Amino acid sequence: MAPIQPGGNEVVLAGKRVLVTGGAGFLGAPVCERLEARGAAEVIVPRKAECDLTDAQQVASLFAETRPAIVLHLAAEVGGIGANRDNPGRFFYANMAMGLHMVEEARRQGVEKFVQVGTVCSYPKFTPVPFSEASLWDGYPEETNAPYGVAKKALLVMLDAYRDQYGMRGIFLMPTNLYGPRDNFDPESSHVIPALIRKCEEARVAGDPSITCWGTGSASREFLYVDDCAEAIVAATERYDSPEPVNIGVGQEITIRSLVELIAEVTGFEGAIEWDTTKPDGQPRRVLDTTRAAAEIGFDATTSFTEGLRSTVEWYREHQATLDAIAPR
């Protein structure tokens, strides 16, 4: 995508102070790299150890000290099906509290633009495929991740209300499932792709005859390479200014069974794949309608799924010793 020119509702990042919560994380790091490449005067990344975003006073102090012109709120408490099932209260509170304080303080400080990164988990459990933004309110989310999804979706309502009452420019983006280098490979909290990469790689190295995966394998998911998502977020920061949410994805789905087979192939695991059908599948199908992202911000993902998986596996192998030390098997 070509650099934008000043004019209309577009935001020029060059010379601006940009606050990015979660900026040191899996998605945040490539977002910050792109902000710096766009010429941002300073990219401010608060660390959790120094600023608890669930605390209103600490958020107020953060804004007072940094005085950002633009805010990208990426920070979240998040995990896979198991982590969501085990921590519904914590996930709801943390995500709701962080967003609540960040949006309110951005309003108080008169920031030029606020970008909220939401989640595909906000969609109803039985949303018609592909998921269109117009279907967001047509039912309740899948139960295992509903507290997380509802907390995020509430921030869409908050931003809409603040736009109406205060004229605050806030946008809401809904990325599909992400994957790529620097992902979370902790077996207790990781999402499906890093969890399967770790499972297949450990089984290959150990010479195990089989691996066991959750569910039936019939559910489908869509996956977006993290660098592509980072580009979409920065492009939307520059170009998009509407209360309507925007899906960020690739518009293609794969069943979990096919995903496991592909990851086994990429990692070189040749054993049997068994299924524990006592475990949940999660939402039956998940794939996004990306028409709005293409029309409004000119976004189209460029990384092929196999290429992205190979890069992710290579990164995991390079960092496996460090990751094992942090989160032993």
- Active-site positions? 148
Question: How do 70-73 and 17-21 pair as beta strands?
Answer: parallel
Question: 199: helix, coil or strand?
Answer: helix
- Burial label for 293, CB within 10 Å (0-12, 13-18, 19+), is buried
Helix, strand, coil shares, percent, the chain, to 5: 45, 15, 40
Comparing CA positions, the residue from 76, 37, 20 lying closest to residue 231 is 37
Helix (H), strand (E) counts: the chain: 10, 12
d(CA 314, CA 308): 10
With beta carbons less than 8 A apart as the criterion, state whether 177 and 120 touch.
yes
For the chain, what's the residue count? 329
d(CA 115, CA 122): 17
Q: Which residues contact 321 (CB under 8 A, 6 or more apart)?
A: none
DSSP 115-171: EEE--GGGSBTTPPSSBPGGGTTSSPBPGGGHHHHHHHHHHHHHHHHHHHHH---EE
Bond into 88 cis (ω within 30):
no
Residues facing 115 on adjacent strands: 72, 171
Residue 277 tokens read as: 């059908």
